[in-house]
Amino acid sequence: MPETLRVFAGDCSTKFDAPRGQRLQRGRVVVLAKPDRTLLVHDASGYQPLAWLTRADSLTVESDDEGFAITARDGDQTLRVRSHGPGERATFPASAGGSPVGECPDCGNPMVRTGGDVVCLGCEERYGLPSGATVTDGTCEDCGLPTMRVARGEQFELCIDYACDSLADHVREALDGAYDCPDCGESLRVVEHRGRTFLGCDAHPDCETSFSIPAGETVGTCVCGLPLFETSTGVRCLDGTCEHHSGATSGP
């Protein structure tokens, strides 16, 4: 079921209580109660709310023929809005907003990128993106979802649905066994844990060496023997604590 945005309008008194004091205001306003329990009170001027409480711990709405009362509480802060008279009330379906990235192959509605996810505005299917991923203009040949471009040692273009196209499988093909463990000399293997990929040593029972694979392409080899990655913040060694991370020799 889609989330709902509740809208109230009318002549209202707004009271905000906090440890630093109390503020009481009155006017003809529009009140927005969001699904995440954010409460916003807007008057006729400007873009900034007259009063607000963001992602409150609780939000309650009381409504009858005489009017409405809305109370949001967050810790020691309380925002109360009470109408003088019945006012106006309405509810509307609401969703995340973001950059359009294509159409959902299941329901035909638009898909948008919002934060680290791609979300369908119709069926509300949600696909989490790995860090540093860029959604492309392409579509997956198998399922019709948008594709993304991700760098983990190499550049990969794959489906945004992990179940359709596994990033770990692509990384394993590119990096598995390509480098040796600096502690025991055995080959570093690609392992996956909680949706993230690592290069770790699993051949020696006493070695617990493991490195998170940066979001970037390999551009050479550090003097410590591990790969260097070109990331959004510059060149770094696979070992983020390596004191030689800026040194490089010929590429692998």
Q: Strand, helix or coil at 206? A: coil
Give the helix/strand (H/E) hosting 172.
helix 167-175
Q: Name the domain boundary from 60, 94, 128.
A: 94
Domain-embedded: residue 250: no
What is d(CA 209, CA 197) in angstroms, rounded to the nearest whole number? 14
The reply to whether 13 and 51 lie within a common domain is: yes
pLDDT value, residue 252: 39
The mean pLDDT of the chain is 90
The reply to whether 124 and 148 lie within a common domain is: yes
The reply to whether 41 and 122 lie within a common domain is: no
pLDDT digits (tens, 9 = 90+) for 87-112: 999 999 988 889 999 999 999 999 99
pLDDT-above-70 percentage for the chain: 94
Domain-embedded: residue 58: yes
Q: Name the domain boundary from 65, 94, 123.
A: 94
pLDDT value, residue 91: 95
The reply to whether 90 and 34 lie within a common domain is: yes
The reply to whether 206 and 159 lie within a common domain is: no
What is d(CA 245, CA 194) in angstroms, rounded to the nearest whole number? 27
Domain-embedded: residue 242: no
Domain-embedded: residue 80: yes
Question: Which residues, in sequence order, are bridge partners of residue 127?
Answer: 118
Domain that holds residue 116: 99-165
pLDDT value, residue 248: 43
Domain-embedded: residue 156: yes
The reply to whether 63 and 108 lie within a common domain is: no
Per the structure, the count of domains in the chain is 3
pLDDT digits (tens, 9 = 90+) for 211-230: 888 899 999 888 888 899 99
pLDDT digits (tens, 9 = 90+) for 59-76: 999 999 999 999 999 999
